[in-house]
Amino acid sequence: MGNKERKKREGTVSDHRLLLLGLGGLFLVCFFGSFLLGRYAVSLQELIDVFAAMLGREVELSSAVQATVWGVRLPRIISAAAVGASLSMAGLCYQGLFRNPMVSPDVLGASAGAGFGAALGILLGFSYWATSTFAFGCGLAAVALVWVVASQVRQSPIVGLVLGGIMVSSLFSSGISFIKLVADPNDTLPEITYWLMGSLSAIRLEEIGAALLPMTVGAVVLFVLRWRLNLLTLSEEEAQSLGVNTRLLRAIVVLCSTLMTAACVSVSGMIGWIGLVIPHFVRMITGYDYRVTLPASLLLGASFMILVDDLSRTLTTSEIPLGILTSFVGAPFFLYLILKEGKRQ
**In terms of Cα–Cα distance, which of 276, 287, 289 is closest to 326?**
276
Could you give the domains of the chain? 2-344 (1.10.3470.10)
pLDDT band at 17; cut points 50, 70, 90: confident
On average, the pLDDT of the chain sits at 86
Do 299 and 279 contact (CB within 8 A), yes or no?
no
Q: Could you tell me which residue, 237 or 62, shows the higher pLDDT? A: 62
Is the per-residue pLDDT at 305 higher than 90?
Answer: yes
N- to C-terminal Cα distance for the chain? Answer: 32
Q: Evaluate whether 275 touches 90 at the Cβ level (below 8 Å).
A: yes
- Residue range 97-139, pLDDT digits in tens: 888 888 889 899 999 999 999 999 999 999 888 999 999 999 9
The answer to whether 293 and 166 have CB atoms below 8 angstroms apart is no
Instruction: List pLDDT tens digits, range 262-285.
Output: 999 988 988 988 998 899 889 988
25-39, 64-78, 163-177, 298-312: least confidently modelled range: 64-78
- Helix (H) / strand (E) containing 81: helix 74-97
pLDDT grade, residue 341 (50/70/90)? low
pLDDT at 96: 87
Q: Return phi, psi of residue 45, to 5°.
A: -65, -40
| b/e sequence 17-27, b meaning 16+ C-beta within 10 Å | eebbeebeebb
Q: Write down the pLDDT at residue 54.
A: 78
Q: How far apart are CA 161 and CA 153, in angstroms?
A: 9
Percent of the residues in the chain that have a pLDDT greater than 90, as a whole number:
43
Say if residue 7's pLDDT is above 80: no
8: Cβ contacts below 8 Å, ≥ 6 apart: none
Residue 2 has pLDDT above 60, yes or no: no
Angle at 115 between CA 190 and CA 269, to 5 degrees: 70
**Tens of pLDDT, residues 169-187:** 999 999 999 999 999 998 8
- Phi, psi (degrees; rounded to nearest 5) at 203: -75, 140
pLDDT at 13: 52
pLDDT tens figures, 40-78? 888 888 888 888 887 777 777 778 888 888 888 999 999
d(CA 104, CA 78): 23
pTM > 0.85: yes or no: yes
Cα→Cα distances 13→18, 301, 317, Å = 9, 22, 46
Which among 132, 121, 129, 139 has a CA at the least distance from the CA of 268? 132
